[in-house]
Amino acid sequence: MTIETNITKMFGIKHPIIAAPMGPFYTHKLAVAVSEAGGLGVLSHVGLSDADPVEEMKKNMEYVVEHTDKPFGFNIRTSRMEPNSEMLCWEIPKFIMANQKIRDQCLYAITSAGSAKTLPNSPNYQKLKENSDIKHFHVAPALWLAEKCVAAGVDGLVVTGGEGGGHQSYEGVSTLVLLQQVHQKFPETPVIACGGFATGEGLAAALSLGAGAVAMGSRFIASKESEFHDTYKNVVPPAKAQDTIMATGVFGPIRLWPNEYALEHKPITSKAEKMAQEATFDVDEIAKTIRAYELAYEGNINDGAVLLGQSIGIIDSIEGVSEIIEKIVNDASASLKKAVSFIK
């Protein structure tokens, strides 16, 4: 069973299912599993402890091509709070250019959390673009940000609504409304729908709303192959959709599981408020935030930042990636056929 869309054709993948990037954590094993299962695996922008994000990205790319011959992608968070983002946009395209196997397989560059221009402004990326099939998508969590991405010349948009896990825009518009807004304004732009997807019915809805694929984060955390700690994974199946709250993260509003850490980091409401807060940050404060991510990754789900989306309410088991993808595609197909049967 396959569902062919503009996105599956663009990347030469079997299924319209993409792994959402989940930095600062490692997702290279998950990326291999998703690509091997016919979706598109994605490497995250790693930023744990003293890890050098550029070197980690290179190592992760080498790992992926050693373990699969299928296409994959990578994420760079181009936020002003990411000191290495420009370096990544400079070094990683150069590294891909110099490695034929990586160049053949690495077809998807997704940037997020900052400017859509940082990657295309890199001469090394331009050179890579001329010499490979790589496509650049940027995360659009609001219509005005989608407009900026299109103006920057992206190949496509990852339209991510407020129900998703991790960082969000200040607007918090739902994926349902945002997809329609973007489709109305940019009907020809390739779209990956993100935020709140975990089932075949969700994929069917996204395709009906003009997207060519869905990207999933929380669903893949709760997979056998993901690198997340078992304690973190085990939060997901019993959780209900209402078991997340908005708090303040490194880049702005963030959706978290409501533990002590989340409750202590009251939600921020505007960029001005966030900038004022950043101005008071010292090195210790930044180190404490990085540590909160590390704690969660190490399995300390009480003191760490446990990023999850509302989709945890529709995930009831930890399964293998290929079973997850097969079920979603089969259910989406049944759902779409049923919907078509309504047309008389």
Least spacing, CB of residue 86 vs ligand FMN, in Å: 17
Q: How far apart are CA 146 and CA 137, in angstroms?
A: 11
Least spacing, CB of residue 225 vs ligand FMN, in Å: 15
Q: Retrieve residue 128's tokens.
A: 């890579």
Contacting residue, 118, 132, 199, 218, with ligand FMN by CB under 6 A: 218
Quick check: 196 binds ligand FMN (CB under 6 A)?
Answer: yes
Which region among 54-62, 129-137, 183-191, 214-222 touches ligand FMN (by CB under 6 A)? 214-222
Q: How far apart are CA 144 and CA 121, in angstroms?
A: 21
For ligand FMN, the closer of residues 80 and 337 by Cβ is 80
Quick check: 73 binds ligand FMN (CB under 6 A)?
Answer: no
For ligand FMN, the closer of residues 59 and 104 by Cβ is 59
For ligand FMN, the closer of residues 38 and 309 by Cβ is 309
DSSP output for 152-203: TT-SEEEEE-TTSSEE--SS---HHHHHHHHHHH-TTS-EEEESS--SHHHH
Site for ligand FMN in 133-172 (CB under 6 A): 139, 160, 164-166
Least spacing, CB of residue 301 vs ligand FMN, in Å: 12
Scanning the structure block, which residue is given the tokens 């940027």? 138
User: Is the previous residue joined to 141 through a cis bond, with omega within 30 degrees of 0?
Assistant: no
Quick check: 253 binds ligand FMN (CB under 6 A)?
Answer: no
Least spacing, CB of residue 232 vs ligand FMN, in Å: 8
Name the β-bridge partners of 6: none
Quick check: 96 binds ligand FMN (CB under 6 A)?
Answer: no
Q: How far is CA 207 from CA 7, 121, 343, in A?
A: 11, 31, 17
Which region among 148-156, 182-190, 194-202, 270-278 touches ligand FMN (by CB under 6 A)? 194-202
Least spacing, CB of residue 131 vs ligand FMN, in Å: 26
Q: How far apart are CA 296 and CA 82, in angstroms?
A: 20
Decide: helix, strand or coil at residue 22: coil
Q: How far apart are CA 15 and CA 296, in angstroms?
A: 31
Least spacing, CB of residue 107 vs ligand FMN, in Å: 17
Q: How far apart are CA 7 and CA 155, in angstroms?
A: 11
Contacting residue, 16, 120, 190, 195, with ligand FMN by CB under 6 A: 195
HSE on the CB side for 41, CA within 13 Å? 31
The answer to whether the beta carbons of residues 323 and 74 sit under 8 Å apart is no
Residue type, 339: A
Contacting residue, 23, 41, 93, 120, with ligand FMN by CB under 6 A: 23
Quick check: 21 binds ligand FMN (CB under 6 A)?
Answer: yes
Site for ligand FMN in 309-328 (CB under 6 A): 309, 311
Task: Supply φ then ψ for residue 95, to 5 degrees.
Answer: -65, -45
Which region among 115-123, 268-276, 301-309, 328-336 touches ligand FMN (by CB under 6 A)? 301-309
Please report the sign of the dihedral spanned by the C-alpha atoms of residue 117, residue 121, residue 124, residue 126.
positive
Quick check: 45 binds ligand FMN (CB under 6 A)?
Answer: yes
For ligand FMN, the closer of residues 98 and 306 by Cβ is 306
Site residues (CB under 6 A) for ligand FMN?
20-23, 44-45, 75, 77, 112-113, 139, 160, 164-166, 194-197, 216-219, 307-309, 311
